[in-house]
Amino acid sequence: MAFVIEMLGITKDFPGIRANDDVTLQVEERSIHALLGENGAGKSTLMSILFGLYRPDAGLIKVRGKEAKIGDPNVANALGIGMVHQHFKLVHNFTVTENIILGLEPRRGLVVDRKTASRRVAELSKLYGLNVDPDSKIEDISVGMQQRVEILKMLYRDAEILIFDEPTAVLTPQEIHELMGIMKRLVKEGKTVLLITHKLKEIKEVADTCTVLRRGRLIGTVPVAETSEERMAEMMVGREVSFHVEKGAAHPGEVLLEVQGLNVRNPKGLLGVKNLSLQVRAGEILGLCGIDGNGQTELIKALTGLAPVESGHILLGGRDIASTSIKHRLDAGLGHIPEDRHRHGLILDFSLAENLAIHSYNRSPYSHFGVLDRAVIGANAGRLIEEFDVRCGQGGETPARSMSGGNQQKAIVAREIDRSPRVMVVAQPTRGLDVGAIEYIHKRIVAERDNGKAILLVSLELDEIMDVSDRIAVIYNGEIVGLIDAAGADENELGLLMSGSKRKVA
């Protein structure tokens, strides 16, 4: 059997951790080959070696049967290998075309030939059904479209082997479905796709073969059509995993978070949240769902102090916090797991230990008379790292920037749940997490509910909303159009509410 890619006996060490331990990966041409594993299993490291971002400490790589020394991404590009990174590498104030041709600018004399480049980008976009406007600025297009630009960057460079690193982590369900279709079209056109993911549904939908890694080691390679999701999950985590949230009935108490007639403007100056009212009680999880871009982000920012309120009230334990500072809200008992972990969840140049104490650094036991107690901060980090299984090479001293996206997310969740505030705004809590971590995080959120906390869960994952919530509020065009009991929720009904086709408030 001929393989287009062979990575044989690959080993890679970083300070304090072996990311890949004698891993072998063999990929057939014109197939979709999934690379599955927990957060920190070594998937991205292995693909970064293939793309030339890292060099292996041991092992060899063959491309189309010939040994290849891939010292940097330029060598990978010359071999027809391209990569879409989990966090996109785009210049936001450049156009689509300018981003795609960056480093390979076609010239007419001394001038960059933008017209020819734009035509070529448009042709590729049409050929692969990507529907990208070559002249749009990156800052003006959706995250899903930005990902398509990254795909076009690879195609423009004539890549035949396309690596996707956690491509659906920031996409809406509709964009995920469209991306799956794009991958299938790419394979029909003769490309080979390597898909790094931890989402079993997506693997079952598009992949032909799946290689599973656990803690840097190869567990096995299986044909997807003949292997159940349960079996792949067990290979990934090393134990049986429950796909459903086990929780008892909620016992709601007093209203701890109340929003009254809230109006919030979006970045374009329009009302993103319109006269919105809702209540979250002690001992319940209120799930908020909607198609991305219908006011969820504006609502979250208004609740947590990241955006100003145009009008209306936000009552935390009966006190209006609508015009108070972020720190005042945190100190008053508000917790926040943000949807954008890099912008609002972590200080990437701080250590993991510093990030885990970021809300409490100015209080005992973390500091005394203005002097940080590094030993206490380190011990706190060690406890949370073990409790939440945060994979990091240097313990609490690990720079937050160097961690995988999933482990960054686990660190934020650990910090906020450990604070145990009386009200939590939880946005996309399991984005980028594997099934084992998702199972654990859901258990901890339910445990907070059972401890009498009020939780507002905002998620684009309908399964998560339906499994974890006690009541579900549906947001459309900045307004609450549905409020229903989660026990009787129907996916089709929720879809109609999310599209604005019906209203139901009971």
pLDDT tens string 96-116: 898 888 877 778 778 778 888
Q: How sure is the predictor about 262, in pLDDT bands with cuts at 50, 70 and 90?
A: very high
Lowest mean pLDDT among 38-42, 97-101, 132-136: 38-42
pLDDT of residue 89: 82
Report percent pLDDT > 70 for the chain: 98
Q: How far is CA 374 from CA 366, 381, 399, 435, 443, in A?
A: 8, 10, 15, 34, 31
pLDDT greater than 60 at residue 1: no
Look at residue 148 and give its three-state secondary structure.
helix
Q: How sure is the predictor about 485, in pLDDT bands with cuts at 50, 70 and 90?
A: very high
Look at residue 234 and give its three-state secondary structure.
helix
* Domains recognised in the chain with CATH numbers: 3-237 (3.40.50.300), 242-333+421-506 (3.40.50.300), 349-419 (no CATH)
The residue with greater pLDDT, 17 or 174, is 17
Number of H helices, E strands in the chain: 16, 25
pLDDT tens string 46-98: 999 999 999 999 999 999 999 999 999 999 989 999 998 877 788 888 888 98
Report percent pLDDT > 90 for the chain: 56
pLDDT of residue 150: 86
pTM for the full model? Answer: 0.72
pLDDT of residue 32: 96
pLDDT of residue 166: 83
Look at residue 5 and give its three-state secondary structure.
strand
pLDDT greater than 90 at residue 142: no
- Is residue 73 exposed (0-12), middle (13-18) or buried (19+ Cβ within 10 Å)? middle
Q: Which residue, among 234, 283, 226, has the nearest Cα to 254 in the 3D structure?
A: 283
The residues with which 294 forms a beta bridge, in sequence order, are: none
Lowest mean pLDDT among 305-319, 471-485, 491-505: 491-505
Q: Which residue, among 427, 453, 483, 416, has the nearest Cα to 281 in the 3D structure?
A: 453
Q: What is the mean pLDDT of the chain?
A: 90
Q: Which residue, among 105, 162, 165, 156, has the nearest Cα to 132 in the 3D structure?
A: 156
pLDDT greater than 70 at residue 506: no
Long-range contacts of 138-141 (CB under 8 A, 24+ apart): 138/90, 138/91, 138/92, 138/93, 138/94, 138/95, 138/96, 138/99, 139/92, 139/93, 141/96
pLDDT of residue 179: 84
pLDDT of residue 490: 83
CA distance 84 to 25: 19
340 contact partners, CB below 8 Å, separation of at least 6: none
